[in-house]
Homo-oligomer: A and B are copies of this chain.
């Protein structure tokens, strides 16, 4: 049985064409796999990473998780293991990817399929908020003043196990049924509107659509009941915008306790193998 590594990392999304590797584009997966091949001294492309949340171009991550399966027979001394995080960080030239931790994964762990839930944050500085230039690269600015209480009301009302087709960019053969577990809006100390959104998994562009619907409601362009009704339409709509990528960050991926990793992975794999997360 070869070794699987769990890698906890974060990145500033501005200079990346998203997570997934693409020829001629700078991607997080591309940069990370290059650094891993240097630090582990394995040939490039021998082994690939698999990630919990495949973020789009411009989307950030603070608490991303991926795994990599080392080649059969690869030996990792405990000394090499203890230095691995620093070596991979060192092999990454730029400062926009941070390796938080690298550990040998527990039996049955799969970064994508063992995950119980993904948590995202979306930040909007509206007309009432302080526009902090230090936060501009991860906060969307709006000149409107948004009604945070009705936006929060919408978030709470939308939660549950539903078909999110109206909020997703469709992919052939992929289910759009997801459990939205938490969706709340709050203002922080600077008055910035911060959404916390948790689901078992997300379909493509779902968070940014959920935020777009809340902004339409918060501006008074769309009624609360109408916004909820759109979900029942089960077709992608133009009633609200998909919000810009740079306001969005993947903040956390949750896993079950070690003994449940394999069971959880096999359940999720059967249901969502063809889907994004």
Chain B residue, CB-CB nearest to A143: B86
The smallest beta-carbon distance between A63 and chain B, in angstroms, is: 9
Chain B residue, CB-CB nearest to A11: B133
**How far is B60's CA from A136's CA once the two chains are assembled, in angstroms?**
13
Q: Are A249 and B98 in contact (CB under 8 A)?
A: no
Number of copies: 2
List which A243-277 residues lie within 8 A (CB) of chain B. Answer: 249
Q: Are A62 and B12 in contact (CB under 8 A)?
A: no
The smallest beta-carbon distance between A110 and chain B, in angstroms, is: 24
A132 on interface, CB distance cutoff 8 Å: yes
List which A102-160 residues lie within 8 A (CB) of chain B. Answer: 130-134, 136-138
A239 partner residues in chain B, CB cutoff 8 A: none
Q: Are A136 and B12 in contact (CB under 8 A)?
A: yes
A97 partner residues in chain B, CB cutoff 8 A: 133
**How far is B249's CA from A137's CA once the two chains are assembled, in angstroms?**
16
Residue in B61, B98, B134 whose beta carbon sits within 8 Å of that of A137 in the complex = B134
Q: Are B95 and A12 in contact (CB under 8 A)?
A: no
**How far is B95's CA from A137's CA once the two chains are assembled, in angstroms?**
9
Q: Are B11 and A100 in contact (CB under 8 A)?
A: no
Residue in B12, B100, B130, B132 whose beta carbon sits within 8 Å of that of A134 in the complex = B12
A96 on interface, CB distance cutoff 8 Å: yes
A18 on interface, CB distance cutoff 8 Å: no
